[in-house]
Structure 1
Amino acid sequence: MKNITLILIALFSFNSFSQDYRFGKVSKDELLEKRNSQDTSAHATILYHNQEIYYQYSQNDGFTQVNTMYRRIKIYDKEGYNWATHQIRLYDQSASSGEDLKSLRGYTYHLENGKVKKTKLKSESIFEEKESDNWELLKFTLPNINDGVVIEYEYAIHSPYIALEDVVLQELIPIKQLDFEVRIPEFFNFNKTVNPKSTYYPEVLESEYDRVENTYARNRVTTSRGTQSSTTEGSEWRFKERKTEVHETNIPALVYEPYVDNLRNYQTRISWEYAFFRGPDGEIKTYSTTWDKVVETIYRNDNFGGQLNKTSYFDDDLDAVLAGVDDPMEKAARVFNFVKSKVKWNKFVSIYSNDGVKSAYKTGSGNVSEINLMLTAMLRYAGLTANPVLVSTRSHGIPILPTRSGFNYVISAIEVQDGLILLDATNPYTTANILPEHVINWQGRIVREHGSSAWIPLNSNTSSKETVSLNIKINDDLSIDGKVRDHLTNHLAFDFREQYNNINNELHIQKLEEDKGEIEISNLEISGGKELSKPIMYSYDYHLENAIEEIGDKLYMSPMIFMEPKENPFKQEARLYPIDIIYPRSEKYVVNMMLPDGYIVESLPKNTKIQYNNNEGEFTYLARENGKMLQFTINLDMNKTLILPENYPEFKRFFELMIEKETEKIVLKKV
């Protein structure tokens, strides 16, 4: 009797605390929840994620893919409001038979006088926009968002394509419960891979069972290249279906870490490669591919390789641009600058031309592909060995399996004796081998004439340098006057131009004054902003209050005053993901300080040299006293751009010692 009572109590407890995740069954307890007990730092939680993918069959269309999604999300505070907006990507390869979104509905739930109330998602909160030539974005935002609400939405994507997109099993917020299932008829065979870079590995279940379809004519099986008919006839059609399932609870959020390349590169997800098709008659067609085959297919597309052979639209103009020039590098520079001035980027990202390079040239506007394929064609016309390079941008991630959707961007490369010169003409401030940061994503695939290809590194080996001269004069009231001179090269100069070239001096000064204490900046002068072949040089005068601490007859101050680091970005004890510094850099500060009348030096920071992993990082600090003048020379050289998690403790210690030194005080004593 005692055991029966215990069992009944256990069953009652389970039923009391089990959650109903059917659509519309949001509970009062969910609305009252203040924090995620498993992750109290979370600003929102996916209470339930359910995704089901299957292939439905019809006599007319054969097999088509249906991808259903249902989510219920708890929003705790304002920083979680962005989870009320969701976007869906729809692929349309032919512009005639693309993917369709169906059965979209959503609600926002809140408590009113202790009762659960809901607000419906309306059509005016649903927006469509073109992301690229083949991808469309549909965005919607749930209404009436406030702290504590619960939202839910569901929809289905109907696709004529057999190929499967990546299935995401982890997000930037925790997931309390996840159920995923995909059912695939035996005719479609996929290779699947769980992201090897992820730190959370789910249990993936596999099974197989019989499926029966009623038929009234010859069976039709849709492949990625059309519909095929079998010779089998009859009222019932039996075949095997394979099921892959994931059922997980309390999936941790992807943890943000400073200087991570793209956090979603480390997201738990399953990637699927369509390997082969086996028809009811046993015929096999292979679709499994290699990167060579992927690139060859892209190259054969008229909207890629076909655009490289067109020259008649620019030849007369380019002949005039190149007139009298014999040096190949001068030719390359003129072509590069000509394209940048002639065609502006319309912000569309694609590896394929949309309206064609000729149209882009004529209208002065084009997508990434049109601009950089045009650049490549012109460089070839000028007699240079130039080829396009396929790239996956940082936000697009690093592809795991060979697939045409693995690339989303194109740049151009000139092959020279010493290596490659990489060019991107979509940005007015790029120069040779100085690419926008979103392009510098590990490696790209160079596509040579006739479609042969090879991987090439995108990371720069050239150091970007910043040299700062900081003059300090301490006034009688302990305020400080001085002058700053700054010199920037390569990527640092590019970043400066992107940030400041299109703003006036007044706004520039406001930005310079941010987070620098009680400072007033004046007489800002800049050179090299428009001359891309030259470094950026700028200077300004400043007046600074309250940078010196006076205790008794002593003064305490940092030699770097407002330029000293505010905090160490590397505080965590351990690191999950690599640190990506993007490009090598060198920072040098030369500080010249004039001693105030009536004071002498009591103590200076000691000269120091700190190294990380031999010469991968080096920090030096030199202090000199010369009469009434003090000079400090502070150098940081980072030659390694990728720090692996196993090397993080040593790198963290390197940064800690460096920041301790940069914030160390000098002590002046009244005579």
Structure 2
Amino acid sequence: MKNLLIIFTIILSANFSNAQNFKFGKVSKDELQEKFHPIDSSSSAAILYRNETISFYYTKNQGFVQQREVHERIKIYNKDGFDWATKKVYLYNGTQQKESLSGLKGFSYNLVGGKIEEDKLKKDGQFEEDNSEFTKISSFTLPNVKVGTVIEYKYKVTSERISIDDIIFQFSIPINKLDIRIATPEYYVYNKQYNLQASYLPKLVVSSENTTIPFEYKINVLTVNEENVPALVDEAYSGNINNYRSKMAMELTAYLNNLKIIEKSFSATWEQVSKTIYDSDNFGGQLRSFSIYKDELEAALTGVEDDFEKAFIVESLVKSKVKWNGNYGKYAQNGVRSAYKDGEGNDADINLMVVSMLRSKGVNANPVVLSTRNNGIPLFPSREGFNYVICSVQKNDEYLLIDATEQYSTNNILPQRVLNWQGRLIEDKDASRWINLQPNISSTESSMLNVTINEDLSVTGKVTKRLTNYLAYFYRNKYTKMIQEDRVKSLEKDKGDIEISGLSVENDKDATQPIMVNYEYELLDGIDEIGDKIYFSPLLFLATKENPFKLEERQYPIDFVIPYSEKSFVNIQLPEGYVVESLPQSTGLEFLDANVKFTYFVKQNGNFLQLKAQLDIFNPLILPENYKDFKNFFSKIVEKQAEQIVLTKA
């Protein structure tokens, strides 16, 4: 019966969709009266209609010019959906190629007294800002948006670029009706590839048309016409959700001349991709030696023989001289010379500089191009699939990976954004290969907790915590710039009625050393007293209180990012006049061939109770087909940590 009801709802929704008028401005009372989405009732908003049309027209002076037209109608169900009333359009703003936005129209529709009232987007709701050296943002916010509002807008982007941005099929809210049309002249050959990690893949229809304007040629046409596109819902520990978004990449792979013969070919294989990247003046041209840094480099490396030690010194030198401007790119934005002189550059300026310096000193250093976590994983040979570059240093069979854009990253401890499967190491225009980017050493968080139970049943003691590798890196990025008061508040959060004092941190600014955190605490709600017995969880505020994996089904992998180990050592002094009635049972749990292990051991040693709990994540990626088993496994961990020690009066 339940399944029949769901099917009926979907059919009813589809029929309503077909009956809707999606002509711009033809918003209906039914759309405005709708209180929640008929299929996804939890959604804060829904795209009622999205139409995207990409085409090219020919001009005598410019040749083919790209034109992208967007028309979107969105329903706002609650306050969480208000953000959808603001739209940002990213426009390329290069020195030779530019994009411009035109034809912008927008309205907000509300039902007032049974009548539809509309508010027009005006100039005071439109804004422009620079995003980077090569992009600007044209944004607009629709007026008078309330719960129940329907907004609608359309605009046109004219581009001198031949490259086509990714075609997005899925957003964080559902789409009722999606119409996409991409029409490209036969002279441009594009490689088309779905994101195969997406759980939703639309049907793509391929056709062709002929035109005689302004001359005779064929147009290749791709269309997508879909209904009820599901929302892309973020899930706990899913990594970057964009990796699982339904989308299609279209990369220019060749030009044809008037005789329909390939005039220039780009990325057909990964070797060709690497060669094309290396041949750029803004990549391979930046790897030679530059005189501007010669004297400082010479002084810094005097007497240093070991290549890895040279790499560490060069990384530190570059960090001291050049700051990252926040821009991504596989190509240098300013160039090594200008970046060193001006003290600022993008990731390629900085990391190609590291390669250049090390090569000038005979070190086997090479650039590694990669796709950041928010850019997805390139599944087919693609120049556009790479958007970042780091440095690799090889000594015998050992490798160091370096990203000098951040203060607290260090050798083989890279920013989280670049930990995305593998990168392409490019030695020269003829030699390249894949290199693993995933951490192969475990990071550790070890906590030692001393516990004293006082007469008033408050708990006091001291915590000593040691963090290594990536966990130390994450701590530094989160806490080092905080003032002491904010650090304490952050530590006290979600730990119950606790007061932390005497906080001290060692090595928080030295990325080569583990971090040591020490503090004292007083906990007022850690003990329950019933009659002549007291009950408490031995892990107190260190315990995981609830299972973060709550969904019945999961579409995406669980991504813990890095292999790591959490170790907790607890030493509890028995309060005077009490004896142990019961202790939790020691246990060991394993998941999927010991990819994840949990051990829990507790014993009495004289007047002390001693506990060791350890969670080891050896493989940080849990696939969706193993989700239910892992969810149950993690529930057992939470349950075990919640088990209580029972003390009774002697």
TM-score (norm 2): 0.93
Aligned positions of 1:127-142 closer than 5 A: 127-142=127-142
Structure 1 pair 410–133 and aligned structure 2 pair: CA distance change class (3 A)? farther
Q: Paired residue for 1:393, among 361, 372, 384?
A: 372
1:259 maps to which of 234, 237, 242: 237
Deviation by residue 1:364-384 (Cα, 9 ceiling, x = unmatched)? 222211111111111222331
The residue type paired with residue 539 of structure 1 is N
Cα contact 1:584–1:640 (8 A) shared by 2: yes
Structure 2 partner of 1:586: 565
| Secondary structure in structure 1 of the residue aligned to 2:183 | strand
Equivalent position SS for 2:49: strand
Task: Report how many aligned residue pairs link the two structures.
Answer: 636
Alignment of 1:412-431 (within 5 A): 412-431=391-410
CA contact (8 A) 1:131 1:348 kept: no
Aligned ranges 1:237-636 → 2 under 5 Å: 237-285=215-263, 287=265, 289=267, 290-450=269-429, 452-636=431-615
Listed as ranges, the matches of 1:222-237 within 5 Å are: 237=215
Per-residue Cα deviation, 1:379-417 (whole angstroms, up to 9, x for no partner): 222331111111211112222333322222111110122
Q: Which AA in structure 2 matches 1:596? A: P
**Displacement, 1:277?**
4.2
> Structure 2: how far apart are the matches of 1:399 and 1:297?
16
Match of 1:99 in 2: 99
- Assess, with a 3 A threshold, how the Cα gap between structure 1 residues 16 and 276 changes in structure 2: closer, same or farther: closer
Q: How far apart are the structure 2 equivalents of 1:343 and 1:60? A: 41
Give the AA of the match of 1:53. Answer: I
* Letter aligned with residue 420 of structure 2: N
Measure the CA separation in 2 of the matches of 1:568 and 1:28: 43
CA shift in 2, pair 1:189/1:606, >3 Å = same
In the alignment, the residues of structure 2 paired with residue 412 and residue 143 of structure 1 have an alpha-carbon distance, to the nearest angstrom, of 48
Structure 2 residue aligned with 1:47: 48
Per the alignment, residue 9 of structure 2 pairs with none
Q: Which stretch of the first structure deviates more once superposed, 201-210 or 626-635?
A: 201-210
Greater shift, 179-188 or 473-482, is seen at 179-188
Cα 1:408–1:239, aligned 2, differ >3 Å: closer, same or farther?
A: closer
Paired position in structure 1 for 2:4: none
CA contact (8 A) 2:289 2:360 kept: no
1:166-245 superposed matches below 5 A? 166-213=166-213, 215=214, 237-245=215-223
Contact 1:351/1:407 (8 A) holds in 2: yes
Q: Secondary structure at the match of 1:531?
A: coil
CA offsets per residue over residues 464-509 of structure 1, 9 Å max, x none? 0010001111111111111111000000101111111111211110
**What letter is aligned with 2:240?**
N
Partner of 1:4: none
Mean CA deviation greater in 197-206 or 523-532: 197-206
CA distance in structure 2 between the partners assigned to 1:115 and 1:176 by the alignment: 24
- Deviation readout 1:169-195 (Å, 9 max, x if unpaired): 111110011111122334434342322
Structure 2 counterpart of 1:165: 165
Q: 1:14 to 1:85 in 2, by over 3 A?
A: closer
Bigger shift: 491-500 or 114-123?
A: 114-123
- The DSSP-based 3-state class of the residue aligned with 1:351 is coil
Verify the 8 A CA contact 1:271 1:401 in the aligned structure 2.
Answer: no
Secondary structure at the aligned position of 2:500 is classed as strand
- Corresponding residue number in structure 2 for 1:221: none
Corresponding letter in the other structure for 2:251:
E
Question: How far did residue 265 of structure 1 move?
Answer: 1.7
CA-to-partner distance for each residue in 1:333-368, whole Å, 9 max, x for gaps? 211111111211121222222222222212222221
Residues 378, 125 of structure 1: CA spacing in aligned structure 2 closer, same or farther, 3 A cutoff? farther
Match of 2:624 among 615, 635, 645: 645
User: Matched residues in 2 for 1:192 and 1:334: separation?
Assistant: 44
**Alignment partner, residue 5 of structure 1:** none
Question: Post-superposition shift, 1:614?
Answer: 2.3
1:123 aligns with 2:101: no
Change (3 A) 1:124 1:385: farther
Shift of 1:538: 0.9
- What is residue 76 of structure 2 aligned with on the other side? 75
Q: Which residue number corresponds to residue 31 of structure 1?
A: 32
- CA change 1:450–1:285 in 2 (3 A) is closer
Whether the 8 Å contact between 1:132 and 1:349 is mirrored in structure 2 is no
SS at match of 1:183: strand
- Change in Cα spacing, 1:326 to 1:287, as seen in structure 2 (3 Å) is closer
**Conserved? CA contact 1:271–1:400, under 8 Å:** no
SS in 2 for 1:37: coil
1:661 is aligned, of 620, 625, 640, to: 640
1:64 maps to 65
CA spacing shift, 1:326–1:17, aligned 2, 3 Å: closer
Compare 392-401 and 335-344 and name the one that shifted more: 392-401
CA distance in 2, matches of 1:375, 1:292: 24
Deviation at 1:279, TM superposition (A): 4.5
The answer to whether the 8 Å contact 2:447/2:463 transfers is yes
Given that residues 273 and 288 in structure 1 are in contact (C-alpha distance below 8 angstroms), is that contact kept between their aligned partners in structure 2?
no
Say if 1:17 and 1:363 are closer, same or farther in 2 by CA, change over 3 A. closer
Say which is worse superposed, 245-254 or 125-134, in terms of deviation: 125-134
**Superposition RMSD on alpha carbons, in Å?**
2.1
Name the amino acid aligned to 1:546.
D
Question: 1:604 and 1:502, CA in 2 relative to 1: closer, same or farther beyond 3 A?
Answer: same
Shift of 1:288: 5.2
Aligned partner of 2:111 in structure 1 is: 111
Residue identity matched to 1:136: K
| Deviation of the 1:575 alpha carbon | 2.0
Cα 1:156–1:420 change in 2 (3 A) is same
What letter is aligned with 1:641?
Answer: P
Give CA deviations for 1:85-129 in whole Å, capped at 9, x if unaligned: 22222234x512322222122222223333322333333433334
2:49–2:176: 8 Å Cα contact kept in structure 1? yes
Q: Within 1, Cα distance between the matches of 2:294 and 2:339? A: 15
1:240 deviation in Å? 3.5
Q: CA deviation at 1:626?
A: 1.4
Deviation digits for residues 213-249 of structure 1 (CA, Å, limit 9, x no counterpart)? 2x4xxxxxxxxxxxxxxxxxxxxx4443333221111
| Gaps in structure 1 of 5+ consecutive residues | 1-12, 216-236
What is the identity, as a one-letter code, of the residue corresponding to 1:208? S
TM-aligned CA deviation for residue 133 of structure 1: 4.4
**SS of the residue aligned with 2:108?**
strand
Flag the 1:96–1:163 CA change in 2: closer, same or farther, 3 A.
closer
Q: Please give the alpha-carbon distance, in whole angstroms, between the structure 1 residues aligned to 2:58 and 2:236.
A: 48
Q: How far did 1:561 drift?
A: 0.9
On the 8 A contact 1:388/1:413 being kept in 2, the answer is yes
**Gaps spanning 5+ residues in structure 2: where?**
1-13
Per-residue deviation, residues 54-110 of structure 1 (Å, max 9, x unmatched): 222334443322111111111122222222222222234x51232222212222222
The question of whether the paired residues in 2 share the 8 Å contact of 1:133 and 1:350 is answered with no
Structure-1 separation of matches of 2:540 and 2:64: 68
| One-letter amino acid of the structure 1 residue matched with residue 626 of structure 2 | N
Match of 1:156 in 2: 156
Answer yes or no: is the 8 Å Cα contact 2:369–2:424 preserved in 1: yes
In the alignment, is the contact (CA less than 8 A) between 1:470 and 1:590 conserved in 2?
Answer: yes
1 CA distance for matches of 2:503 and 2:361? 42
Letter in 2 for 1:106: G
